[in-house]
Amino acid sequence: MTSGNPPEQSRGRPATRREAGGVERSTATPKLPGAHEATDLNFIPGPDRFHYWSEISDDVKAYLERKVGPKIDWWADQHKRERDRPYAVVLGPNGLAITTPRVNAQGQRTQSIRLDLFAPSSLKHAVVQQQLIKPRGALRSLVTGRAGAPQPAAPPHLNLSQEMRGFLGNLPLEAQQRLQTPFLGTQPVTHYLSYAYGNDKDYDAWCYLAGPQTLTFASGHCTRRPGTPARQATWHLTCYQADIAH
């Protein structure tokens, strides 16, 4: 992880980077984790990620691209503490960058940038889909995962906030497993963040988990009929995983 502090020349807002501690340690072979319980994402009306991205200066954007490469996926939003300024999370082929608005000693507005750089060619991805089908007999069933897959264990005891656990619970089980499995042994989750935009019936979602050796990231689109549980949502996601460079 490296960091920078380029000047921010435009108006915006920031977001809280959530720091996390460790993970329960075990010498046993980790089982596939089960699903977290989904919580309400509490959508509120507001500008989308493109609005907040436009409020980040061109100098900061150019710095991010130099460090992590062209954007593969990203989001931007208002910061939870400094409500009039933006933050951004950018996934590139060479790393993940997280910006946080600051004010330096001279009183200038800046963006502090955390970089988790990847080992060369280590970034991989997989597509995860979940959808409802209507078989003969008009009975609905959820199609997800692979036939004959082992029964998942209980949700993992990673040191995540209840808010983050509830966010993950809205994702398909396979996506939850891809995001969390690298952290089931001795590797701790050191920081993580999530974001969703839309409404309860139709929304986009992004999140990442990062540790000393591994970073996982997921983004995708969800549609859900009113009154149905999270496990009956339709999803199309891309899940990424990369090794952290040392």
The residue that leads in pLDDT, 26 or 70, is: 70
Residue 24's pLDDT is 41
3 — pLDDT class (breaks 50, 70, 90): low
Mean confidence (pLDDT) of the chain: 83
The amino acid sitting at 242 is A
Is pLDDT above 90 for 123?
yes
* Burial of residue 231 (number of CB atoms within 10 Å: 0-12, 13-18, 19+): middle
5 — pLDDT class (breaks 50, 70, 90): low
32 closest CA partner among 156, 129, 116: 156
Task: Please report, to the nearest 10 degrees, the dihedral formed by the alpha carbons of residues 55, 72, 205, 165 taken in order.
Answer: -110
136-162 pLDDT per residue, tens: 444 444 444 455 555 556 777 888 999
Cα–Cα dist 94/66, whole Å: 9
3-state DSSP assignment of residue 55 = coil
175 — pLDDT class (breaks 50, 70, 90): very high
104 — pLDDT class (breaks 50, 70, 90): confident
54 — pLDDT class (breaks 50, 70, 90): very high
Contact 184, 206 (CB under 8 A): no
Contact 214, 190 (CB under 8 A): no
Residue 107's pLDDT is 76
Contact 245, 151 (CB under 8 A): no
| pTM for the predicted model, two decimal places | 0.79
Residue 169's pLDDT is 95
**Angle between helical axes of 162-169 and 173-180 (0-180°, round to 10):** 140
Residue 165's pLDDT is 94
Is pLDDT above 50 for 100?
yes
182-225 pLDDT per residue, tens: 999 899 999 999 999 999 999 999 999 999 999 999 999 999 98
57 — pLDDT class (breaks 50, 70, 90): very high
Residue 133's pLDDT is 58
Is pLDDT above 60 for 87?
yes
